[in-house]
């Protein structure tokens, strides 16, 4: 790993939310790890797109349920 690789890695950590070993985590990489994690912990593998659908459903459902409290 050269000096320029180290600089790029540091810049990645400063500029991006998801970075692993100095490299930016792409959507396919994140989706694969999310699928692995949810399969292991929930018994159902959810990739990024499926997670977004489920999260949107729960947010809409719970926000609609709680709006009378505002």
Over the stretch 19-70, which tens digit does the pLDDT of each residue have? 999 999 999 999 999 999 999 999 999 999 999 999 999 888 887 765 555 5
CA distance 51 to 18: 17
Q: For the chain, what are the domain ranges?
A: 3-69
Residue 3 is predicted with a pLDDT of: 78
Angle ∠(15,28,5) on CA atoms, nearest 5? 40
Task: Provide the pLDDT for residue 42.
Answer: 93
């Amino acid at each position: 790993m050269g000096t320029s690789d180290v600089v790029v890695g540091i810049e990645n950590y400063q500029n991006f939310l998801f970075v692993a070993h100095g490299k930016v985590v792409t959507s396919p990489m994140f989706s694969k790890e999310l699928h692995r994690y949810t399969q292991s912990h929930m018994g159902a593998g959810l990739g990024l797109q499926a997670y977004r659908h489920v999260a949107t459903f729960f947010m809409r459902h719970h926000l609609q349920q709680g709006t009378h409290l505002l």
